[in-house]
């Protein structure tokens, strides 16, 4: 009888947790959610899901999780206290905690959204990207190997691979602001507090310590110097 059971041992506790997981998964299924394998869905809080959602295997949903319509949650993901808008996709091995994702977004794979992350409509957070206390504006992209901490990014801006915001000076956190329709080149370090304006470009490999005005090109790197007829020293 599953209605009344004791939890007098670790084994019995595990059995009860299994029954609870099954009940919560069945609630979602009965509300129209496709659950790839109910036995491999772990619900540790309250989940509200819209129409035509899909939850793949080995997913943990913790705290208060709200999914819009047609949301796809990929395998091996963790969602804790998050809201995800309509038609968004969370790819495999992503970890979202206290974050908000808008409509039509793609997150991951291997993305981490930490507390205070706000990903607006149609934005993209790609593989090995971490955000914390940051907003990525409508249609903006951070596709590869990026850290955005205490950052506000406008609309339709591209954050190149390897970009980091240097938000911590050893004592205090500082803010980085990037405007609309700007382009941040690969391997850029933005040393906060700093502002990059709208329609601005930052050259790849730059260390930006001063504000970049609207429509400007910011370059913060040494000039390449080639040594002709160079040969390595031989032993």
Query: Where in the sequence numbering do the catalytic residues fall?
Result: 144
Closest by Cα among 230, 224, 186 to 206: 186
What does the alpha-carbon distance between residue 211 and residue 142 come to, in Å, rounded to a whole number?
Answer: 21
What does the alpha-carbon distance between residue 52 and residue 69 come to, in Å, rounded to a whole number?
Answer: 6
Classify 228 as helix, strand or coil: coil
Classify 187 as helix, strand or coil: coil
CB 103 within 8 A of CB 85: yes
Length of the chain: 235
Enter the DSSP assignment of 233: -
Give the residues across from 173 on adjacent strands.
168
Backbone conformation region of residue 52, classed left if phi is above 0, alpha if psi is from -120 to 50, else beta: left
Q: Is the peptide bond before 109 cis (omega within 30 degrees of 0)?
A: yes
Closest by Cα among 101, 96, 56 to 76: 56
- Beta strands 41-49; 207-208: pairing state: unpaired
């Amino acid at each position: 009888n599953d209605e009344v059971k004791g939890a007098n041992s670790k084994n019995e506790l595990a059995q009860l947790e299994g029954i609870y997981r099954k009940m919560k998964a069945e609630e979602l299924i009965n509300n129209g959610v496709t659950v790839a394998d109910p036995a491999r869905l772990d619900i540790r809080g309250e989940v509200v899901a819209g129409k035509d959602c899909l939850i793949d295997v080995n997913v943990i949903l913790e705290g208060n999780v709200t999914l819009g319509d047609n949301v796809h949650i990929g395998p091996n993901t963790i969602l804790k206290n998050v809201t995800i808008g309509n038609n968004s996709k969370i790819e495999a091995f992503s970890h979202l905690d206290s974050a908000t994702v808008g409509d039509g977004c793609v997150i991951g794979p291997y993305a981490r959204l930490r507390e205070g992350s706000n990903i607006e409509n149609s934005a993209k957070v790609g593989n090995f990207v971490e955000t914390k206390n940051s907003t990525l504006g409508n249609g903006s992209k951070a596709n590869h190997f990026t850290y955005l901490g205490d950052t506000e990014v406008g609309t339709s801006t591209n954050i190149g691979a390897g970009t980091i915001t240097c938000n911590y000076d050893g004592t205090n956190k500082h803010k980085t602001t990037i405007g609309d329709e700007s382009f941040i080149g690969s391997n850029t370090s933005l040393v906060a507090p700093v502002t990059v304006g709208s329609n601005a470009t930052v050259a790849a490999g730059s260390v930006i310590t001063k504000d970049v005005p609207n429509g400007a090109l910011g370059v913060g790197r040494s000039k390449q110097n080639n040594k002709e007829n160079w040969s390595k020293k031989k032993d």
